[in-house]
Amino acid sequence: FLLREQLWLCDIAIVREKKKFSSSTSPCAHLRAAYNNCFNRWYSEKFVKGQWEKEECVSEWQKYRACLSEHLEDKHLSGFLEAEGLVGSINQDKLENPADIADTGASQ
């Protein structure tokens, strides 16, 4: 694992410990469901049939991702997210800002 990824995962673990188990009341549940539904449709109807070039589910992913980062209350998270870019398609690197990545990369 990347160190950043491990740090983020540890933070998820900490926050979930605090919340105990409230899976049905997770604040991002609706956005997660919307993203998952979009992804599942894309996967079954396009990806496995060989059509994966077009960007899909980008806005659902961005909203879900924004919610996750908001609720994880984490300092390294935003850096991690920026470095990861707004994933969801093969065109995702066009959305990244190289300057932001350079800044957050140094904080490791």
Partner 1 sequence: MVKAYSQEYVYKHPWDRVTSASWRKFADPENKRVLSHILEVDTLSRKLDPTGKLYTTRAITVHAPGPWFVSKIVGQDICHCVESTVVDVQSRSMQLTTRNISLQKFIEVEEKIRYDPHPDNPTGWTICQQETRIRIKPLSALASMAEKVEQKCAEKFVQNSAKGREVMERICKYLEAESSGLAL
Task: Give me the residues that bind partner 1 (CB under 8 A), please.
Answer: 1, 5-6, 8-10, 12-13, 16-17, 21, 23, 26, 28, 32-33, 35-36, 39-40, 43-44, 47-50, 52, 61, 64, 68, 84, 87-90, 92
Residues 6+ apart with CB under 8 A from 61: 35, 86, 87, 88
* Assigned token pair, 63: 């909203």
Question: Letter for the amino acid at 36?
Answer: N
**Which of 23, 58, 63, 67 minimizes the C-alpha distance to 39?**
58
**What is the nearest approach in angstroms of partner 1 to the Cβ of residue 84?**
6
b/e sequence 55-89, b meaning 16+ C-beta within 10 Å: ebbbebbbbbbebbbeebebebbebbbbbbebebb
